[in-house]
Structure formats: structure tokens, C-alpha cells
């Protein structure tokens, strides 16, 4: 008896619901799409946090304050978006450390002229021959 009442009541209600959905197909086809778009639009506001320090260190920790201080005083050359070829001019380079046995001044006129002579590229319009004659080299 209870089974028949439930079966008849549920059958009637679902029949009316089916008739209502069938008579309004545009609403029931577009409503799930609109709801999905509205809920999916919130994903555009999410950002992936890649800094482990930001995730694990407290906001006002001493380590974070010290790191910000060191970064502000000693900036690092962060040239991620530049090509390596842009960082230097073409050519061959060498480094020379010049020291004095007598602990004398290394920037006297003769030595400054020699350093300037070797710092000029060989293909520049500046001629090296007069400099060599003047220095006695």
C-alpha cells in the first residue's frame, strides 16, 4: 500500500518535472553552461606561488627582513630576460692583476698609459704606434 502511494506520487511528480523541462529547453540547456562559466571564471584570479620562502616563512620573520635588507643593499644582476650576447661585446678578453713589489702607487702616468693602451681594441680608429714610441716600448 505504501509502496503504491510512493510509486504513484513520485511518478506523477517526475512526469510533471519532465514535462516542465521539455517545455523550457533553452533555460535548462543554457543554465548549466552559464553556471559553469561563472564558477570557472574565478580560476582566472588564482596565482601559483612559486616562492618557497613566501609559503613557509612567517611574514615578519627576522630572516625575511634580513633578506630584504641584503637584497636592497647588494642587488643581484638578474638578467633572465636578456640574451647572453647582449651582456658583452664580441672579442677576446683577459684579466690581469698588477701588483708592485715595493707597495708603490700603481697608477703613475706610465702605467696608466700602458693600461689605456691595452684597453683600446685593435680595430679602433686610435693608432697604437705613436703610443708605443712615446712609451719607449
pLDDT in tens, the chain (137 residues): 888 999 999 999 999 999 999 999 898 889 999 999 998 888 888 888 887 877 888 878 888 888 888 878 876 655 565 655 555 555 566 666 777 777 777 777 777 777 777 766 655 555 555 655 565 55
Confirm if 114 and 135 have CB atoms less than 8 A apart.
Answer: yes
As a whole number of angstroms, the distance between CA 110 and CA 115 comes to 9
From residue 84, give the alpha-carbon distance in Å to each of 78, 81, 93.
Answer: 12, 9, 16
> What pLDDT score does 14 carry?
93
> What pLDDT score does 73 carry?
80
Where are any strands of DSSP class E within 7-73?
Answer: none
pTM: 0.32
Other CB atoms within a 10 A radius of the CB of residue 128 amount to: 13
The vertex-54 CA angle with 48 and 60, nearest 5°, equals 150
> What pLDDT score does 104 carry?
72
As a whole number of angstroms, the distance between CA 118 and CA 93 comes to 11
Amino acid at each position: 500500500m505504501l509502496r503504491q502511494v510512493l510509486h504513484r506520487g513520485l511518478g506523477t511528480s517526475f512526469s510533471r518535472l519532465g514535462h516542465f523541462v521539455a517545455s523550457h529547453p533553452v533555460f535548462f540547456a543554457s543554465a548549466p553552461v552559464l553556471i559553469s562559466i561563472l564558477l570557472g571564471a574565478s580560476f582566472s584570479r588564482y596565482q601559483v606561488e612559486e616562492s618557497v620562502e613566501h609559503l613557509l616563512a612567517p611574514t615578519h620573520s627576522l630572516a625575511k627582513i634580513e633578506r630584504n635588507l641584503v637584497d636592497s643593499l647588494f642587488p643581484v644582476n638578474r638578467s633572465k630576460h636578456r640574451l647572453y650576447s647582449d651582456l658583452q661585446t664580441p672579442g677576446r678578453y683577459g684579466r690581469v692583476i698588477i701588483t708592485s713589489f715595493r707597495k708603490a702607487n700603481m697608477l703613475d702616468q706610465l702605467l696608466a698609459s700602458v693600461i689605456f693602451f691595452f684597453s683600446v681594441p685593435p680595430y679602433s680608429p686610435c693608432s697604437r704606434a705613436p703610443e708605443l714610441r712615446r712609451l719607449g716600448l
